[in-house]
């Protein structure tokens, strides 16, 4: 009987918000495409929100304290940090590094020598808005072109 109650509770428990992300602390909001949902707790300390696609893709947001003097350098440093923390690839290459109208973005692809891990993709986007800069980190494992495009679309929709 206790097992049935536990299953019933798990089935009826809310699975987090779906359809829209709204993060007042980071100052970002966006409708989410089908298959993406807002999570309750980001997996990395310091981030204030997370959305997931259920297939190894996630996007996290966090506010950046104070103004950003050099968006390109700050994005490069954040990409290096999160590459070491989240990717740990045997070979990590920069696949995109470009200025945005309101910030900078950098994307990395990690490859692994073992046969278990497939390539991973990491995008770091720094939005340097006047009052509230925000850092977005997107991760995709395994990396595939169509899923990469979906992850990038979610990240660019966050404003």
- Computed from CA positions of residues 133, 137, 138, 143, in that sequence, does the dihedral angle turn out positive or negative? positive
pLDDT in tens, 147-159: 999 999 999 988 7
Cα 136 from Cα 145, distance rounded (Å): 20
Chain segment 123-152, per-residue pLDDT in tens: 999 999 777 899 999 999 988 888 999 999
Q: Report d(CA 104, CA 138) in Å as an integer.
A: 14
Query: Quick one: tokens of 126?
Result: 């720094």
pLDDT digits (tens, 9 = 90+) for 67-103: 899 999 999 999 999 999 998 888 999 999 999 998 9
Kindly provide the b/e burial profile for residues 54-69, where b requires at least 16 CB atoms within 10 angstroms of the residue's own CB: eebbbbbbbbbeeebe
Task: State residue 124's pLDDT score.
Answer: 97
111-130 residues labelled b (16+ CB within 10 A) or e (exposed) = eeeeeebebbbbbbbbbbee
| Long-range Cβ contacts of 15-18 (<8 Å, 24+ apart) | 16/40
Q: Cα-flanking dihedrals φ and ψ of residue 69, to 5°? A: -80, -40
Q: How confident is the model at residue 115 (pLDDT cuts 50, 70, 90)?
A: low
Report the C-alpha gap between 157 and 5 in whole angstroms: 40
Helices (H), the chain: 2-12, 71-82, 145-157
Summarised one tens digit per residue, pLDDT across range 21-65 is 999 999 999 899 899 999 988 999 999 999 999 888 999 999 998
pLDDT at 158: 85
| Predicted TM-score of the model (pTM) | 0.84
For residues 7 and 111, which has the higher predicted lDDT (pLDDT)? 111
């Amino acid at each position: 009987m206790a097992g049935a109650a536990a299953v019933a509770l798990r089935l009826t428990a809310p699975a987090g918000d779906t359809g829209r992300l709204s993060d007042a602390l980071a100052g970002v909001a966006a409708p989410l495409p089908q298959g993406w949902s807002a999570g309750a707790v980001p997996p990395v300390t310091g981030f204030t929100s997370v959305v997931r696609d259920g297939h190894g893709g996630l996007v996290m947001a966090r506010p950046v304290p104070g103004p950003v003097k050099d968006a390109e350098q700050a994005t490069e440093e954040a990409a290096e940090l999160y590459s070491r923390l989240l990717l740990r690839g045997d070979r990590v290459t920069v696949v995109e590094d470009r200025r945005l109208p309101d910030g900078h973005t950098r994307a990395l692809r990690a490859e692994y020598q073992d046969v278990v891990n497939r390539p991973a993709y990491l995008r770091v986007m720094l939005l340097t808005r006047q009052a509230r800069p925000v850092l977005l980190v997107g991760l995709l494992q395994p990396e595939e072109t169509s899923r990469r495009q979906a992850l990038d679309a979610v990240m660019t929709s966050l404003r």
